[in-house]
Amino acid sequence: MFPDARIPYGTWGSSYFPAWQTSPLAEVNIGQFAGEAMARIMGLRKTPVSHLDYLVIGSTVPWHFKFWNATVVASCMGKRVPGYQMEQACATGLQAIILAGAQIQTGASQVAGVLTFDRTSDSPVGVFPERRAYRRTEVISDVWDNFGFDPATGGSMLASAGNVARKYKIEKKEVDELTAHRYEQYFKAKESGFIRRYAVALEVLNMQGKSMGVIEDDIGVKKLSLDTLRSMRELDSCVTGGTQTHAADGMATLLVTNADKAKELSLNPKVDIQFIAKTEVRVAPSMMPEAPAVAVQKLLKQTGLTMNDITVVKDHNPFAINDAVFAKVMNYDWRKMNNTGSPLVWGHPQGPTLTRVTIEALEEAVDLGGGYVLIFGCVRDIGIASIFKVN
Amino acid sequence: MNNKMRTSTLESLNMGSVLDIFKNGKLPVNNDELIDKVFGPKNNRGAMIISGASGIVGAGKVMQFASRLKPYNIPIIALDLPGAPDGISKQYKGLVRAFGRDGANDIMKNIIQLTYDGKSLPETLKSYNPKFLLEAIPEQLELKKVHYQLFKKEFPGIHIWSVTSGFPSKQLGVDIAHPAFPHEINKVFEIVEKQPSVQTQLLWSLGLIPMQMSDDWSFVLDVFFCGLMLASLQYQEKSNMPYWKADKYVRQIIGPNPFRAHDAIGAKGANFLTWSCLYHLSKAYGPLFKPTQSLDEHKDSGQNWYPPDHFRPMVNWHLDNKGKEELHQIIFGALFQMTSIMIKEKRADFVSMNAIGELCAQFTKGLLATMRNQGNTNIINTVKAYQKLHPEAAKTKWYPDVFKKMDTPEWLQLYVNAEHDGKVGVITISRESYNSDVDAELNRAIDWLKKNKIKRVILTSDFHLSTQMVGADTTEFFPALTDTREGYRIAFNWSKTARRFYNEFDISLGFINGKRCMGGMLELMMHCHYLFADTDTSLAMPEVTLPVIPGMEGCHWSIRKAKPTDRNKLISMLMDGKQVKAKDAVGWFVDYASSLENGLKKAWEIMQEGTSALPIRKVEANALKISVKAAKIPNSRNPEFEEARKAIADCIEQACGAPLTKAIEIQARHSADFMVTKLCRKGRVGSEYDKIMQ
């Protein structure tokens, strides 16, 4: 897709994703936090941000000074480079990486930073004069009012999960088992130290320079047993409090560059990470969780690859149903995917979610000696999928 | 004939030695005579012109000279272009703070602000009979040269000094008096001239600190401070560490906050000056001095280094040991390499070079002292490590050989010097606060005098770099805040040094000639058999206000010397921390207070004639029964102050209550034990520690 673009191994990282309202991140300007955190992460990776000449930021929840976009975040990072902000709800993290790849492929930049972030806590509120609405002025709590209402269909995201579960005749028993397995995968990865390889503990300061605390864990994520999951009340078909993700705050970042520069910046120049392909599809209204599977079908057709060719399969799974449907559509064992954790467990701060998924997948692929890496996810009724190759 | 450990800095100004001052019973130069020489006789006094007077440097110097030359009715002509931002009015507040409103107004009356078009001088200037021009116009060589021509043509014979921050005198065609920091309270001037001039001596006699420098690109302060800024930027660009945090770490390891300093001075001007200095140094010496990309940007934008208030730092940074080591290597490696060039060029004597680091660049410890303590091998290794981390630096030559002979007195005696004439010795301290370096050098100076069989000694300041004695360097106490062994070691060893003046000389005389002498320095001086001071010198033991407990025997030594009826005065000094004028402390604390000249003469008389010239007050060696309660010190109604007082009172009673031989240990123990208390941690030393080290 972008033969000249590369992701230098190891020049990435994320904050932990504390569940919404559980950490100092609930109280900060997340754009500033992300900029400063990126400098810190790249510093730990021995990568001076002075290498950057472009910055793609991805964020979906309005933040203070958003008007100033990537420029102000870049200033907080410590390197005044041009750039822009993009957003595509839950697909933001992957789409930002793709856009950075395009930036390199076109020759417009040598090193583009991808910086994705969101704060779902303390949702900003938008006030929109709406003369045709009976209330004349609509007030929207950006996070929860949007999660709960798709203006195109009038339905909620949660309802779309129920719709898909019914369409594919998914049973709650399977979804509970799948969820329990995802929790096991996450905690196994955590205990093995895998998460510490890319997630960075970050101390947040208040205005007086005093510590508000160190974000050193995916706060709020607790072990869930199958029995507990089974006992949970269904909110819609196969959807319980346990089988869906939770809102969180956080940031994730990586660099995209050309092949030569990747060798210079990479923490292991022998590892070569290429962009192979990407696609997007749109499925029927209110059928969000089936969109990723359809996107992957299309992507495999597009590339001529099969699931057997893929080394690492990882997705953004806001509902466990996503994975169950994917397995059914692709005839693929859901136990083989999301080996090192997934957003279903570690949370959903929107913007950075798929960036963290990608980072985890690339780390896993390197551990496995390389291969194709399939990343996919959903955004409303859109499915997005992409393949990278780790040599 | 005088013998000396090393050359005194006074000699570099052609003003003889400190021993000569005592021998002659007067200072080497006289204000009135110098004023006559520089500005003409009283009935035909000329004026001083400061051009570029509205700029940062010009305005500061206008205030500095206006206040000092006011008593001689010398007008200060503040010259600048029409419409130049009014920097002089900004200084007025500071003037009021220093002199009161009436005093400030009086000084302002003597400042005459004139404008010119840059091409010709105002006619009225002639009527002021200008004798001395201090040029502070922008850093453009051709502009400056034209400026000098203008003055030379109009006023032949006028003495011109440039305050330039970089150009050598040989390029400018005039001598240089570079203020080592523009701030009006900074007294240091780096002087470039073939021979010490009367103008330079006048600066000294006005209480300023001129230092002779060689004629090379830029100045010692600028190389140190801009060099530190550059090294900090190099580290920042390598690590991504934000400027504010780099500042914090740099402050921990060497003293100043280079980034904050730029913002505080005014980033627009300061960024340009730093860039300009480094840019020209890089042209003269190579890439070691090359400004970084971020400095280029900040020079162009004039942007502050610290984020604005709405972006106060949010993500904290911590360095692991490896990170700290890298920071150390970059900061010190760069400075060591730069300093080797200056030493090779003989830019200044070591004492002055070292002092500029402390007095002007705000280094916690002088750079040469730091290098001396590190030793030749460590210096070389640090520079090598730096050049590995920043390979560009290796493209500029450096001179490790200059560090080979670090056992010479020039290296060993950076703060303390000793002179003698075969009979009388003088030990001079050029550092305002006492630290471990001073302590070590003091011991070496005592050893040297004793080796030369000197039995009578005067302990004083150096009459040049040190204009007051402010006490102990409290940064030395940081390790003692958590470790009583450290506190005890410092207090005991420093006290032992002080006792040498009492035990190892037949006559020792502490001669305080500055504005004030306090705390640890006063404790040191009081150990001499005699304590002399200028009439109006302020003396104080302010430890209770910090709070700490005096560590160098301040709680018992002077009490042992005082008559029983006078002891409560000393107890009050310790319990209140207030200043006492020397003239009010004669007999119970000070042995002699007078004008400087009388003091010099009397001191020399004692050195020549012995104790018959003035009886020695004996130090009581036996245990004394002292009750602090009996002194009836009024309660301050401040519980924390009272707690500190109680600790000091305990120390007084127990240290006095022991024989002199044991008191040293008792005082050191009290001092060390108090240092680890919550109260001390909450106080000035603890807060300073938290601010700098946490």
CB-count burial class (<10 Å; 0-12, 13-18, 19+) for B525: buried
Instruction: Classify domain A2-122+197-229+242-265 by CATH number.
Output: 3.40.47.10
ipTM of this complex prediction, to 2 decimal places: 0.94
Asked if the Cβ–Cβ distance from B315 to A204 is below 8 Å, we say yes
Chain B CB contacts of A49 under 8 Å are: 240
Q: Report CB contact under 8 Å: B315, A43.
A: no
Q: Does A36 touch chain B (CB under 8 A)?
A: yes
Residue of B nearest to A34 (CA): B315
Alpha-carbon distance of A9 to A45, in angstroms, equals 10
Q: Which of A28, A43, A204 sits opposite B240 (nearest CB)?
A: A43
Cα–Cα–Cα angle for B645, B627, B578, rounded to 5 degrees: 40
CB-CB under 8 Å, B241 with A43: yes
Q: A with B: how many residue pairs have Cβ under 8 Å apart? A: 57
CA of B690 to nearest chain A CA: how many angstroms apart?
A: 12
Beta-strand pair A273-282/A382-390: antiparallel
pLDDT of residue B55: 87
Nearest-Cα residue of chain A relative to residue B298 = A80
CATH no. for B45-212? 3.40.50.720
Q: Is the pLDDT of residue A342 over 70?
A: yes
10-residue mean pLDDT series, chain B (694 residues):
91 95 96 95 93 90 94 94 89 91 93 94 95 93 95 95 89 94 76 96 95 93 96 97 97 95 92 93 96 96 95 96 97 98 96 94 95 97 98 96 94 98 97 96 98 98 91 95 97 98 98 94 98 97 97 97 96 96 97 97 98 95 95 94 97 98 98 97 94 86
Residue B200, burial from CB neighbour count under 10 angstroms (0-12, 13-18, 19+): buried
User: Which residues, 6+ apart, have CB-to-CB distance to B153 below 8 Å?
Assistant: none
Query: Is B315 within 8 Å of A49 when comparing Cβ atoms?
Result: no
Token pair of A236 as six digits: 């819609």
Inter-chain residue contact B315 with A203, CB threshold 8 Å? yes
Which chain A residue has its CA at the smallest distance from B245's CA?
A209
> Going by DSSP bridges, is the β-strand pair B456-461/B424-429 parallel, antiparallel, or unpaired?
parallel
Residues A21-50 have pLDDT tens digits of 999 999 999 999 999 999 999 999 999 999
Rounded Cα–Cα distance for residues A366 and A66 (Å): 36
Q: Specify the pLDDT at position B277.
A: 92
Locus of tokens 């005839």: A331
Residues of B in contact with A36 (CB under 8 A): 242, 313-315
Answer whether A78 sits within 8 Å of B240, measured CB to CB: yes
Report the CATH fold assignment for B418-693: 2-enoyl-CoA Hydratase; Chain A, domain 1 (3.90.226)
Contact A205 B315 (CB under 8 A): yes
- Which stretches within B549-617 are classed as H helix? 557-561, 567-576, 596-609
Query: With an 8 Å Cβ cutoff, are A43 and B311 in contact?
Result: no
Cβ contact (<8 Å) for B316 and A203?
A: yes
Do the Cβ atoms of B198 and B34 come closer than 8 Å? Answer: yes
pLDDT tens digit sequence for B469-516: 999 999 999 999 999 999 999 999 999 999 999 999 999 999 999 899
Using CA coordinates, name the residue in chain A closest to B323: A44
A209:B313 CB<8 A: yes
CB proximity A207 to B under 8 Å: yes
Q: Compare all CA atoms of chain A with the CA of B237 and give the residue at the minimum distance.
A: A48
In B496-638, the DSSP E strands lie at: 507-512, 516-518, 530-534, 538-540, 580-581, 592-594
- The confidence band for A132, taking pLDDT boundaries of 50, 70 and 90, is confident
Whether A80 sits inside 8 A of B312 (CB atoms) is no
**DSSP-assigned letter for residue A193:** T
Which residues partner with A251 through β-bridges? A117
Between chains, do A37 and B315 touch, taking CB under 8 Å as contact?
yes
Provide, as residue numbers in chain B, all residues whose Cβ is less than 8 Å from the Cβ of A209.
Answer: 312-313
| CA neighbours closer than 13 Å in the CB half-sphere of residue B405 | 6
In this complex, the residue of B240, B314, B315 whose CB is nearest that of residue A48 is B240
Best mutation target, A16, A29, A33, A36, to test chain B (most B CBs within 10 A)? A36
**Chain A residue nearest residue B308, CA to CA:** A76
The secondary structure of chain B in percent helix, strand, coil, rounded to multiples of 5, reads 55, 15, 30
**Calpha distance B585→B532 (Å, rounded):** 11
Question: Nearest residue of A to residue B314 by CA position?
Answer: A205
pTM of the model: 0.92
Contact B239 A80 (CB under 8 A): no
Question: Among positive and negative, which fits the CA dihedral A225, A230, A232, A236?
Answer: positive
The verdict on a CB contact (< 8 Å) between B313 and A50 is no
Instruction: Please state, for a pLDDT cut of 70, what percent of chain A lies above it.
Output: 100
CATH (residue range B220-409) = 1.10.1040.50
Which residue of A42, A75, A202 is in closest CB contact with B240?
A42
Chain A nearest CA to B323, separation (Å)? 10
Backbone angles phi, psi at B105, to 5 degrees: -65, -40
CA distance B273 to B536: 40
Burial of A3 (0-12, 13-18, 19+ CB in 10 A): exposed
Give yes or no for residue A380 having a pLDDT over 90. no
If DSSP codes are grouped into helix, strand and coil, which group holds residue B75?
Answer: coil
* Chain B interface, Cβ < 8 Å to A: 236-242, 293-294, 297, 307, 311-318
Report the gap between the CA of A159 and the closest CA in chain B (Å): 39
Residues of chain B with Cβ-Cβ distance to A32 below 8 Å are 311, 314
d(CA B468, CA B359) in angstroms, rounded, equals: 13
Interface contact A36-B237, CB threshold 8 A: no
Residue of A nearest to B312 (CA): A207
Q: Is A25 on the interface with B (CB under 8 A)?
A: no
Return d(Cα B473, Cα B438) in angstroms, integer.
10
**Residue B315's closest chain A neighbor by CA?**
A204
Q: Does A42 touch chain B (CB under 8 A)?
A: yes
- Specify the amino acid at residue B627: S
A78 touches chain B (CB under 8 A): yes
Nearest CA in chain A to B305: A78
Q: Shortest Cα distance from B294 to chain A (angstroms)?
A: 9
Partners of A205 on chain B (C-beta within 8 Å) are 312-316
Q: Which residues pair with B398 in a beta bridge?
A: none
- Check CB contact under 8 Å for B293 and A203: no
Phi and psi angles of residue B645, each rounded to the nearest 5 degrees, phi first? -60, -40
Q: A286-324 burial, b for 16+ CB within 10 Å, e for fewer? A: bbbbbbbbbbbbbbbeebebebeebbbbbbbbbbbbbbb
Instruction: Give residue limits of the domains in chain A.
Output: 2-122+197-229+242-265
CB contact under 8 A, B293 and A207: no
Whether residue B315 and residue A211 make contact (CB cut-off 8 A), yes or no, is no
> Hey, which residues does B509 pair with through a beta bridge?
B458, B530
A36 with B241: Cβ contact below 8 A? no
What are the CA-CA distances from residue B564 to residues A368, B155, B552, B574, B646 (Å)? Answer: 87, 67, 22, 16, 21
How far off is chain A from B311, nearest CA to CA, in Å?
7
Q: Which of B237, B316, B318 sits opposite A48 (nearest CB)?
A: B237
One-letter identity of residue A102: A
A-chain CB neighbours of B314 within 8 Å are 28-29, 32-33, 36, 204-205
Residue type, B328: H
pLDDT given for residue B183 in this prediction: 61
- Both tokens of A213, joined, read 């605390």
| Residue in A closest to B322 by C-alpha | A44
Q: Are B317 and B239 in contact (CB under 8 A)?
A: no
Of the candidates B294, B312, B315, the beta carbon closest to that of A202 is on B315
Extents of the domains making up chain B: 45-212, 220-409, 418-693
